[in-house]
Amino acid sequence: MSQLFSPYQLGNLPLANRIVIAPMCQYSAENGNASDWHTIHLGHLALSGAALLIIEATAVEPEGRISPFDVGLWSDENEAALAKVLEAARRWSDMPIGIQLAHAGRKASVAQPWHGGAQLGPDQGGWTVSAPSAIGFESYPRPPRALGRDDIARLVEAFAAAARRSVRLGLAAIELHGAHGYLMHQFLSPLSNRREDEYGGSLENRMRFPLEVYEAVRATVPSGYPVGFRISGTDWVEGGWDIEQSIAFARAIQARGADFIHVSSGGLSAAQKIPLGPSYQVPLARAIKQATGLPTIAVGLITEPEQAEAIVGTGEADLVGLARGILYDPRWPWHAAAALGASVKAPEQYLRSQPRQYPKLFA
């Protein structure tokens, strides 16, 4: 029996298999409002046969967007727009849909990637960005404003408010974005956090803001509701955030009741040296899982069914996350199930597409 297609449980959420569609920014919202593009994007991924679909990094305040075109969940208007998208997807799919709540910090206020991704000035639709310390991201010309204690308290509440909206929307899980050089990662890494108060310096202090966010969100959602973190397991820079600190952070969120950890890497510094290759981030997930036992999602150049099967089957991670690979092949779970002798759920409208050589593919 395929381990990749075995069931799993995150908190009170049953999953049909071990395939997660990771958050993928689309830079296609309007004033934080999910658009028709999101109906198409999320709708077709909800028909893919994966177990869980996580909505892209969703800003908890306007200044927390990566670009002016990011999805947000800070207002009633944002909530209504996302509800419309979810209604369309749910009409045709019962796949659980979660959300990633985020704040970009010093990496905010940039152009869409296909327009170069450069930092935008106020005259270009950009805004003043903020961070733990007034240290800018290397390639961006304008330094951030250092957050004060009142700002930090306000942001903790902004995450909690977005979590309340997420629950009202019927979203199945919340992932907090502490990876890829965005705000919570900026607090965690000594490369970007040079504060001298209780939010900087020691590892305990650098973890304080992300843990306060987690505790505020956990206090907001119902008992058993899955809440987890996405982290960068390492900055890939000497003297930066690393796997030992990641394990310490995983233990801290585990002690507070976290349901999962989603392990990526990098994104904080242009000096990063990433050894790209198949499964290149899986050892980070494996190290955290072995040290803590916390349910773990592995991601990063996982492209082949046998590769994903081995990751789950050997216990390197509990689930695998797909991002660019499932954009390239939106039916990846179908093809993986066929290759591994498993079955997958397909919409009734597509049942006639089942290949004759895989008569048990569609459950």
Q: Would you call 287 helix, strand, or coil by DSSP?
A: helix
CB-based burial, 152-184: b 16+ in 10 Å, e otherwise = beebbebbbbbbebbeebebbbbbbbbbbbbbb
d(CA 340, CA 205): 46
Which H or E element spans position 56? Answer: strand 52-59
Let me know if 182 is a catalytic residue: yes
Q: Would you call 330 helix, strand, or coil by DSSP?
A: coil
**Strand 260-264 to strand 296-299: parallel, antiparallel, or no bridges (unpaired)?**
parallel
- Per the residue annotation, which of 8, 27, 182, 225 is the catalytic one? 182
Residues 6+ apart with CB under 8 A from 171: 55, 86, 97, 98, 99
For residue 154, which of 94, 232, 74 has the smallest C-alpha distance?
74
146: phi then psi, degrees, rounded to nearest 5 = -70, 135
Residue 191 tokens, joined: 């490369």
d(CA 157, CA 92): 34
d(CA 46, CA 138): 37
**Strand 19-21 to strand 52-59: parallel, antiparallel, or no bridges (unpaired)?**
parallel
What positions carry a catalytic annotation?
A: 182
